[in-house]
Structures are given as C-alpha cells and as structure tokens.
Amino acid sequence: MKTATRAAILTLLMVGGCGNQSDGATPADQPLQTVSAESLKAQASAKGTRTFYENRGWKAAWSKNSADALKSALSRRAQNGLDHIRFLDATASDPAARDVALTNAALAYAEALANGATDPRELYDIYTIPVAKADILSGLQTALDKGQVEQWLASLPPQDSAYKALSDAYLKLHDAASGESWPSIPEGDLIHEGERDPRVPAIATALEKAGYLQPSMAQDSDSGSAGQVPQAGSASRNGDDNTLYTSRMKQAVEQMQEERGLAQDGVVGPETLAELNRGPQAREKALAVALERRRWLVRNPPPVRIDVNTAAAQLSYIRDGSVVDTRKVIVGRPDWETPQLSAPMFRLVANPTWTVPRSIEKEELSGLGPGALRRRNMVRRNGWIVQLPGPDNALGLVKFDLRDKYAIYLHDTGARSLFNRSLRQLSHGCVRVDNALDFASRIAGDQGITDKWQNARARGSETFVALPQNITVRLLYHPTFVDSAGNVVWKQDVYGWNRAIAKQLGFDSSGSHRSIDVPSLDDLGP
C-alpha cells in the first residue's frame, strides 16, 4: 500500500485515541455477499480500499467467520502496542458500509503490523534506511480466500525474539499503567549514600516497580555477596532505618542512571528524580514507539552490516546474522543530530585529513589567524580550512568512508576520553568509534586486506584502501531496545524523536521528552 493510502486509512480510523474495540457485530442472518457493487462503490473512499474491491470485481469480501477472525485479532492489538488506535468503529446496519468498514480496518491494521502505522520518511527530513514493504492488498485477499485472516495478521509483524521481548514488556506495563499507582517523589536536597531522607521509601518503591531493586526479607540490605541483584531489604523499610539511602539502593540508582543516559554517580538529584517519577505510562509509550520503529525495518537485513544505535551511542558489527563486535560510539548532539540513514562503507582511510565544514568553521573557528590554525595543525587550501594528518586530527588515525550525500561517516578521534561518558551525544553528526584502529584492523582482516591496510597506515600520509565488499551501515535511533542478553534497555529520547511517533500511535505526547543539557567541551570534530 502506498504511503498516501496508508495515511488516509489511518486518519479515517484514528478517532478519539484509546478505547475499547467495538465489536461491529454482523447479524448472522445478514449475508454480506448480497451487497451490490454500486453500494460498495458508494462506501469505499480510500484509494487502497477501492483498489481491493476493484481487484475482486466489486464483490463483498466478508463472511461472519472472517469478520469474527478480524475482530479477534484486533482485540489483541496491544501485543503490538497498537491498542491506542481504534481500527474498527461501530458500523451501520447497512451491509455495504459494514463490509467496507471491515476492509478498511483489516488493511489499516495489516499495514501497521507489516510496515508500521507511521511512515518515517514523512516524519523525518532524512530517513534513508530501507523500510519494510508488504503487499497488503493481495495478502488480505489470499487470507480471505483461505479463511486465514487471523493467522495472516499474526505473521506480519517481526517474528524475532527482540520484538517479542518488547511486546511482552509492553503487555506487562500496559496492565500496570491501567491499574497500578506510581509514587510521586517531590524535589528536595541531593541524597547521597548513607544519608537519611523522608523520600527514601518512595524512591525504593519506584526502583522496585521499575525493576531495578528487588524486595527482600533480609535483615540487612547491605548483606550478601557482591554482584547480587540490589535489594531494598528491611534496613530501608523497618523502623527509623526506612529513611536510610543504602549502598544497595545506590547500586540500583546507578544502574538506572547508566541505562537512561544520566551521570552514573548514584546520587539522587533532580535528573534522577525526574526519571524515578516516570511511571508505567511513560515507559509503556516508549515501548509502543520501540515496537513501531522495529516494524519499519526490513525483515531480512544484510547478514553483514554495521548497526549504530545513536540513542544508545553503541555500535554492533554483524556477520552472518550474529553480532561479532560491539563498542561505544559518540554521535551527534541534540542540535546536530546524526540522521537516520543507511549507506555502504566502501573504504578505509589511513591518516585522514579533515576538511572543516563551513558550519563548524563559522561556529567554532571564525576569526582564527594563521598562527592559531598552525597550533591546531591546520592550513587553508582553496578557501577551506584543512587539518593535516596526525594523532590529534579530529578524525584520529582512521576514517570509515560511507557513500552518502550527507557527508556522514565513521571515524577515530583524538578526544578519546569522551568515550567514558554515559551520555555520548556530543559530536556534530558523524560517528566516532571507540578504539577505531582496532575496529579498522578487524574489518581489514575480515576483508582480506590486512597487508594493504598496514602499509597504508605506515605511510603517515592520507591513503585510501578500498574494501573488496561494501558493508552496509545503518544509523538507527532506538532509545528503547533489547540487549544481547534479552533485557529491555531504556535510554533517553535525547533527540525528542519519539514524540511525533507516540502522537500518531494515539498516545498523549505532552511532556514525553526531557531536554538534555550537552556539556560545553573544548572538542573540535565532525
């Protein structure tokens, strides 16, 4: 289904956001096959719906059994985080209107499952990652012919374990968001380990509900072997000690801080309190967006590829479908976001030079004279500022060239200490790779060009080494994702890109994004 058709049908169906699925009951004594072609033509307005009926000669599509199967599938749409969209409203008694309403609902739900309820190419100025494409019109017809509407719909979303883990987490949080209260912790002074504060019991409750702290009947919350899962214990619950901020609680707070991109200091301050106060509704919304982002992606990506999750600032190198290397990266800061794109890596560049873009020159190098440029190992060439090769070059000692029109690429850096930060959205849009020389050596080895690469490095001047086989690089943005151990990880929506998706999925998007303060760094680089 084309994008315009998808948008038209979803707009037609998304009325009032969340609500119980209307059953749209079809009387058993009202056979739909008696509907006239003229009546169907009068009711079918969406382009995809009209094409569907044209392909079947303007004959009614739905029997009672197939309609019941569709309604059964829709009743479980929370499995895909789509329960805030009402796909099927109460239908009129007119058979043609009822048949078209069922078709509209089936096409829209199938499109949402197979390709996403939203189109990323409409949401973002730059989105070049290949998107899923499924032939929804012919798929629905085949499912109706075989009496397998429910089975067909179940086959459309991603079938991998990560999608299932996100789905399971959504269903769990959906139940919690519907009926479980969440503590509201007021602001106040900073809380350090060993200090007492009346807010500690509420903090412990929030940590437990978020899965970072496990309740225990132990008498001493700080007892037990190192490495155990932090437990609140009665030392934070009984008597006067229930206000004590224990080391176990600090460990739980540090884990939460690390996962959500905060300073990992274990201190309960304003930023940490804001996260602790994010109850199940906020995380439910984040999971629904995570499921949607995964539905955008093609089901069979290249078996050899490099995926960069810019929200987590992490790179994964995949070969034959398995992750063989992971490492930290530094990506674009919130005002210089790394775009969501896919491009082939086609060569390694040893000892690269860096031609400073006009935007960076204007913002950070304007007014510098020849002496200041020399101190940065820079010269002017044909009106451009160029940084010469060397260990202090902004690109470091290796650049991984991508073939794209946005001048985005992966590279080394001279500011390697920044990889120790938990929040690594710090660059001007390009992707800096931790221990990049090691990564380049690995790629060279996998491509059988180790000797060429080592010779290029030894020259000391900028040297290009082509890769015999291009490697697809995908720059993704997934704040909520599943790690290699199967755990759901929550990172900050640093760019605020979840909000538009959440709104189109039927969620209240107000207050869904917390701005991130990017530290001022004496760090020049793309």
pLDDT in tens, 55-92: 999 999 999 999 999 999 999 999 999 999 999 977 66
Please tell me which residue, 108 or 368, carries the higher pLDDT value. Answer: 108
pLDDT at res. 209: 81
pLDDT at res. 453: 98
Q: Label the pairing between strands 463-476 and 305-309.
A: parallel
- Please give the Cα distance from 202 to 230 (Å, whole number): 16
CB crowding 165-175: b at 16 or more within 10 Å, else e: bbbebbbebbe
Q: Residue 172 — pLDDT band, cuts 50, 70, 90? A: confident
**Hey, how many other C-beta atoms are within 10 angstroms of the C-beta on 154?**
15
Best-predicted range by mean pLDDT (12-21, 46-55, 509-518)? 46-55
In the predicted model, what is the mean pLDDT of residues 333-342? 95
Cβ atoms of residues 394 and 504 within 8 Å? no
pLDDT at res. 519: 60
The pTM (predicted TM-score) of the whole model is 0.84
The DSSP letter of residue 400 is: E
- Please give the Cα distance from 145 to 156 (Å, whole number): 17
pLDDT at res. 46: 93
Question: What's the farthest any 2 CA atoms get from each other in the chain?
Answer: 90
Least confident of 128-142, 235-249, 468-482: 235-249
- Please give the Cα distance from 393 to 412 (Å, whole number): 9
Which candidate, 98, 105, 96, places its Cα nearest to that of 40? 96
In the predicted model, what is the mean pLDDT of residues 351-372? 86
pLDDT at res. 518: 63
Least confident of 314-318, 435-439, 521-525: 521-525
pLDDT at res. 14: 45
CB crowding 389-425: b at 16 or more within 10 Å, else e: beeebbbbbbbbbbebeeebbbbbbbbeebbebbbbb
**What are the two backbone dihedrals, phi and then psi, of residue 499, each rounded to the nearest 5 degrees?**
-60, -50
- Please give the Cα distance from 303 to 157 (Å, whole number): 20
pLDDT at res. 281: 83
pLDDT at res. 88: 92
**Hey, how many other C-beta atoms are within 10 angstroms of the C-beta on 33?**
11
Please tell me which residue, 522 or 277, carries the higher pLDDT value. Answer: 277
Cβ atoms of residues 476 and 289 within 8 Å? no
Cβ atoms of residues 310 and 430 within 8 Å? no
Q: Which residues contact 352 (CB under 8 A, 6 or more apart)?
A: 389, 393, 395, 396, 397, 398, 399, 411, 462
Q: Which residues contact 254 (CB under 8 A, 6 or more apart)?
A: 264, 265, 266
Q: What percent of the chain has pLDDT over 70?
A: 84
Least confident of 149-158, 172-181, 313-322: 172-181
pLDDT at res. 517: 61
DSSP for 231-259 reads: B--GGGTSGGGGGB--HHHHHHHHHHHHH
Q: What 3-state class would DSSP assign to 128?
A: coil
Please tell me which residue, 367 or 492, carries the higher pLDDT value. Answer: 492
Identity of the amino acid at 178: S
- Please give the Cα distance from 386 to 379 (Å, whole number): 5
Strand partners, 103: none
Q: Residue 6 — pLDDT band, cuts 50, 70, 90? A: low
pLDDT at res. 474: 98
In the predicted model, what is the mean pLDDT of residues 379-407? 93
